C-alpha cells in the first residue's frame, strides 16, 4: 500500500490527566502515515485521486485543538476516526502523538503513544 506521510505536526492543545494541562495547554507533536492506493493519482496528476495532506493536517489540528481528553490514547482514537470519516479512500492510519512537556518530573525528550488502525478495525 502506498503512503502519505505527515511528520511532526505541532499543535498547541489542552489534553492531560492533570487540571493544569487542560487549563494551560501544551505542545503536541503528531505524525501520521496514511495508507492509500495512489496509483490513480500517479496517472491522473489530480488531487481528487489522492488525499490532500494539507486538509489532513488541518483536520488533525482542528480536532486536537477543539477537544479535550485525559489520555493520548483517546485523542489518537478520535483523530483516526475523523480521518477515516473525511477520506473514504484511506485504508489504514499509523498515528504517533508525542508530548514533549509531559509532566513527568524527569528529563526526557517526550512521552507518547503510537496506534495503528485499519479501516475495518475501528
Maximum distance among all Cα pairs of the chain, rounded to whole angstroms: 52
Q: Cα–Cα distance between 81 and 117 in angstroms, integer?
A: 9
Residues assigned a catalytic role: 99
List of residues 6+ apart from 28 with CB closer than 8 A: 10, 11, 12, 13, 15, 64, 75, 97, 98, 99
Q: Cα–Cα distance between 27 and 41 in angstroms, integer?
A: 34
Angle at 86 between CA 113 and CA 1, to 5 degrees: 65
Name beta bridge partners: 82: none
Amino acid at each position: 500500500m502506498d503512503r502519505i506521510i505527515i511528520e511532526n505536526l505541532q499543535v498547541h492543545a489542552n489534553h492531560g490527566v492533570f487540571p493544569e494541562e487542560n487549563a494551560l495547554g501544551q505542545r503536541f507533536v503528531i505524525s501520521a502515515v496514511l495508507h492509500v492506493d495512489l496509483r490513480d493519482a500517479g496517472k491522473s496528476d489530480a488531487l481528487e485521486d489522492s488525499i490532500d495532506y494539507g486538509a489532513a493536517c488541518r483536520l488533525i489540528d482542528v480536532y486536537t485543538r477543539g477537544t479535550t481528553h485525559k489520555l493520548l490514547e483517546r485523542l489518537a482514537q478520535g483523530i483516526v476516526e475523523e480521518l477515516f470519516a473525511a477520506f473514504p479512500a484511506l485504508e489504514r492510519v499509523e498515528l504517533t502523538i508525542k508530548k514533549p512537556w509531559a509532566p513527568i518530573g524527569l528529563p526526557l525528550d517526550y512521552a507518547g503513544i503510537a496506534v495503528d488502525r485499519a479501516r475495518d478495525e475501528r
